[in-house]
Chain A
Amino acid sequence: GDSVTQMEGPVTLSEEAFLTINCTYTATGYPSLFWYVQYPGEGLQLLLKATKADDKGSNKGFEATYRKETTSFHLEKGSVQVSDSAVYFCALTVNSGNTPLVFGKGTRLSVIA
């Protein structure tokens, strides 16, 4: 079946450091890929998405590129801030957006000043 694998956390970085959170997937069809973020005490928020190979999703300084050849969708940010501390989830859906998501386990990021 479809699955998403994320790097294990927690990840602790100093402010202004470069961030990479790895995400790879297996899918029976052609998936759309998502990154969600969960800030402390809040619900999941869609951070960015990509729907086809070589698409780059971006938002709030975060980027991820849909790499079909490596089945990956790694999340990157050039300079993290304390306010980026959260849990990040990689997810996919093979059909339309009106179908359930398959999630990775989540990666907790802590950014220290």
Chain B
Amino acid sequence: SAVISQKPSRDICQRGTSLTIQCQVDSQVTMMFWYRQQPGQSLTLIATANQGSEATYESGFVIDKFPISRPNLTFSTLTVSNMSPEDSSIYLCSVEDPTTGGWPGQYFGPGTRLTVT
């Protein structure tokens, strides 16, 4: 299994500003995933981050809006840039199982609840 922490747990931000969310894992993992959960919606994948390479973004998400860093095998950051109220969501990071490389499933952090006013 993997223990994942995220900072901050929640924040209230003004539109036009940026927020960087940190994700720390207690084991080395190759793949890290960033998801967004908008109010009343399911989780949507933003991007996949491998250590040592550029993040791969899903359709509808761009690097200028959601830059991601992955400096090592236990840490990643997601920045939500130039925020608008539509960015109000819970942002979750997720990792593969560090011992099996994927199975039995992914492990999730507690999430960062972002409100943009």
Contact = CB atoms under 8 A, between A and B. Distances in A.
A45 to B, nearest CB: 8
Given A97-B96, A97-B97, A100-B48, A46 B107 contact: yes
Nearest to A97: B102
Contacts of A106: 42
Q: Is the interface of B mostly helix, strand, loop or mixed?
A: loop
| Residue in A41, A89, A99 with the greatest tally of chain B CB atoms within 10 Å | A99
Contact of B110 (A36, A42, A49): A42
B110 A97 contact: no
Nearest to B58: A100
A103 interface: yes
For chain B, give the interface size range: 20 to 34
Interface residues of A, number: 21
B42 A105 contact: yes
Given A43-B110, A49-B104, A49-B105, A104 B31 contact: no
Interface string B13-52: 0000000000000000011010000001111110010000
B69 interface: no
Contact of B4 (A34, A43, A99, A100): A43
Contact of B106 (A41, A42, A46, A104): A46
A44 B92 contact: yes
Interface of B: 4, 30-31, 33, 40-45, 48, 58, 92, 94, 96-97, 100-111
A-B complex: 10 closest residue pairs judged by Cβ atoms: A97-B102, A98-B102, A44-B108, A43-B110, A46-B105, A103-B42, A103-B43, A97-B103, A105-B42, A100-B45
